A and B are shown apart, each in its own frame.
Chain A
């Protein structure tokens, strides 16, 4: 035990002595030589840090792990996170401690702010994503979000594996004609106080609701694609604060308490506490119906002017221990087989990142065979997604929202 303490003390010295650590890249596998990558991957264990709050997703990840073990001899361990930032913290902690190799995170499910932060701090391995074999199927032209993560260029540092878009849902037994735009939501909430809630920002869906509102209310929404600057911000958000000042007293609990996540909204609707909710998972309502969480009278829809959509990705930290295994896993996740299974509402129901016209007929048939759930929208009904604003907007919006509504007025 004394040795343990000595080691800890040594670590203090180490942590203080490291200074600005070098992001030394050890002999990393080259994705262009895919055969070598597969060879290096065999026998590796990939610790995949991914949000663990959804049973459907956890089951899917287990399925992917089983396929990888069968075909490539790669073991996949799903490290179930409560928050993606936990994995980011971990990589930072490792960098602070000078652990520039053999890190504990091999693959992270990531996008938006987390990606922007890791990219900026040089915490990611790559570029690799655009050199793996299945990249050729990705719909780069039709889905700009796959190479522009919240406007931040991915630069091959992360591989897309799913599309998400904001949807609203309601129980038709209680609400037949839901509001179809941000201003209509306010009118409806005034007539039905306490029956609508959005998750508390900085929850991702809550913040996305704010961004959706800014896009619809701002005089010139184009400025949202640029990094935020003070004058543009004030002009763009002034209508938002007016809107929220009117909406908040008519929210669930009059805005004195907020649900902490979008999945909590499902429970609130089942409990009869709210009549209108939103999600970023297209299939969330259908899944909830299948799992007895919601009655089968629930339906989803998107707002008339369209809703925000984005892609989510997997990235490899700069100090990952099993980079080759992680690339093989990421490549599998982009395969038509894995993507089609992912889109199946009976499994998960998340949107694909692939272009149908790049697939051969056999693979396309996999997608055609998928039956959507009663509460899941077809791609045509979803329409084209609105682009995410630059991440810096989200940061400012979250800060100001917290100051105005998040700390008790």
Chain B
């Protein structure tokens, strides 16, 4: 993807007519995905330098930047964003790596695989609400221990949630990023054939984890690097989770930017724009830091591999166990949080230190459940359309790459990152202004277009690597048997890659379901989805309502993941080889 087809490579004179769109697919995809981002950044940069005619800002000035620098919490907010981003990413990657190293190919691993999709489909906000209730000093864990173990009749005044160092926030992000990275790693693993490498390493006397890290990890990391960057950028600029679990004195930079954006004092819009630009720079800086860590780790790794140490089996077992416990903690936290939401959605009065509510009632579901239908339908239409378009464009790009040799330059690949790296706050407000000018705002189509910006890269990221890693020998064989490129695509490649395709679809769907800011801003608040309704109602703070909406939201994202796991098993019941092709 990414290069303009200056000279189209012709396929041995038998290019089918229908495929004429293909050479243009990369360009169309880029425009659809990056057009809004770039236009939005322009729309944000202008006020960051003082230009916003509606607010009497008609000249260029450094005033907004100066005001930003004078905000007393800036340094702490910046450090917090950076620390949370790097911390959450490093911890998530470590857990995922060690789980795969210690358990890939075992029966426990199959179980972990099954758990993944439900975990991944829990929208971030829903997971964060669940977690908050779990770990608060008056939360479920504390209630479980009171009063028999702790003697607490009133909760202790402990700074667990919203701690100034952002530890709760990191924990919350890790619980959601571990499943995401694990899924990406799984998709990559199917291409790397880790079993044979590991067997060789073990024959040479390497302990399991040591052998995996030395032989498989370098291959896998190359394939999951894009998702890792996405995780880093996301963790640094996330808004909804940071509002729920993160500190407020000060909050992370992204949250503060949204606050300025929402401040009644309109002059703060300029400062907010400057902050959004800083957030963009901060994310780029964070990625630079990560890159340096990568290089250092690569050098050290080479030395480590060449020393030929076989690893110590005892330590290996300890690490294996620890990895599983860490992974399980992350998973259990989300599941228990979700269970908490289920109970809240049926709860009557529920006070500390009661482990369960005084009474259960259908009232909450009666009252709010009936209002779910409209937003649920809207959510499904938008997610379906955005994901369908994203999948079509992605497949067209990848196929164009394959058939016409339109291989992207490595540098062009960075373009794909833009929507994931550019923090939402940095371009959405600019984009909002522009889409109003173009008469596109306030409609479902505009929201789908905005969602596509975020869905496309995720779909592309999750599909590109498995697609490219597909063994071209299959193509050669099929072509030798007389099949045209279309037939190869439909009869050989897509069936063999069904699992990655379905996973990509599910990821795209979940991404769309979870979008808050784009839906709200571009939809002019007139396109209510489960997420926008949930966040609006959650501002009221009643866990009963939040529970109802969070569960509906989770269900909307869960279904495609269930299909992505179940469908290949059903379809390839008699061709098990394809499951791990």
**How many B residues touch A, CB cutoff 8 Å?**
85
> Looking across the interface, which residue of chain B has its beta carbon closest to that of A110?
B264
Which B residues touch A155, using CB under 8 A? none
Out of A5, A85, A403, name the residue touching B262 (CB < 8 Å).
A85
Out of A8, A94, A97, A408, name the residue touching B76 (CB < 8 Å).
A408
| Cβ-based interface call for A365 (8 A) | no
Which B residues touch A310, using CB under 8 A? none
A8 touches B541 (CB 8 A): no
| Cβ-based interface call for A67 (8 A) | no
> Looking across the interface, which residue of chain B has its beta carbon closest to that of A404?
B72
Chain B: minimal CB distance from A259 (Å): 8
Out of A15, A293, A408, name the residue touching B164 (CB < 8 Å).
A408
B73 touches A292 (CB 8 A): no
8 A Cβ contacts from B338-355 to A: 347-353
B31 touches A5 (CB 8 A): yes
A8 to B266, CA, bound (A): 25
A253 touches B264 (CB 8 A): no
> Looking across the interface, which residue of chain A has its beta carbon closest to that of B56?
A20
Contact flags (1/0) for A81-103 with B, using CB distance below 8 Å? 11111111110111111110000
Which A residues touch B56, using CB under 8 A? 20
Chain A: minimal CB distance from B515 (Å): 15
8 A Cβ contacts from B243-284 to A: 243, 247-250, 259, 261-266, 269
B249 touches A258 (CB 8 A): yes
B435 touches A402 (CB 8 A): no
Query: Given A9-B39, A82-B539, does the pair A252, B157 have CB atoms closer than 8 Å?
Result: yes
| Cβ-based interface call for B438 (8 A) | yes
8 A Cβ contacts from A62-116 to B: 77, 79-90, 92-99, 104, 112-114, 116
| Cβ-based interface call for A378 (8 A) | no
| Cβ-based interface call for B295 (8 A) | no
Chain A: minimal CB distance from B490 (Å): 25
| Cβ-based interface call for B449 (8 A) | yes
Contact flags (1/0) for B159-171 with A, using CB distance below 8 Å? 1011110000000
A268 to B48, CA, bound (A): 38
Residue of A254, A405, A406 ringed by the most chain B CB atoms within 10 A: A406
Q: A50-58, A216-224, A332-340: which lies at the B interface?
A: A50-58
A83 to B535, CA, bound (A): 11
A271 to B439, CA, bound (A): 48
A86 touches B31 (CB 8 A): no
Which A residues touch B367, using CB under 8 A? 55
B537 touches A52 (CB 8 A): yes
Query: Given A8-B39, A8-B435, A256-B164, does the pair A292, B348 have CB atoms closer than 8 Å?
Result: yes
| Cβ-based interface call for A328 (8 A) | no
| Cβ-based interface call for A32 (8 A) | no
8 A Cβ contacts from A1-42 to B: 1-2, 4-5, 7-12, 14-16, 18-21
Which B residues touch A84, using CB under 8 A? 264
Which B residues touch A51, using CB under 8 A? 539
B438 touches A55 (CB 8 A): no
> Looking across the interface, which residue of chain B has its beta carbon closest to that of A193?
B157
Out of B36, B43, B250, B436, name the residue touching A94 (CB < 8 Å).
B436
| Cβ-based interface call for B28 (8 A) | yes
| Cβ-based interface call for B401 (8 A) | no
Out of B72, B157, B351, B524, name the residue touching A270 (CB < 8 Å).
B351
Contact flags (1/0) for B65-94 with A, using CB distance below 8 Å? 000000011001100000000000000000
| Cβ-based interface call for A231 (8 A) | no
A81 touches B154 (CB 8 A): no
Out of A49, A97, A395, name the residue touching B434 (CB < 8 Å).
A97
Which A residues touch B533, using CB under 8 A? 52, 80
Out of B154, B269, B435, B542, name the residue touching A55 (CB < 8 Å).
B542
A292 to B159, CA, bound (A): 27
A254 to B159, CA, bound (A): 9
7 A-B pairs within 8 Å (CB atoms) are namely: A4-B438, A8-B440, A80-B528, A80-B532, A96-B53, A256-B249, A295-B349
Binding site for A on B (CB under 8 A): 28, 31-32, 35-36, 39, 42-43, 46, 52-56, 58, 72-73, 76-77, 136-138, 154-155, 157, 159, 161-164, 243, 247-250, 259, 261-266, 269, 347-353, 359, 361, 367-368, 429, 432-442, 449, 520, 524-526, 528, 532-533, 535-545
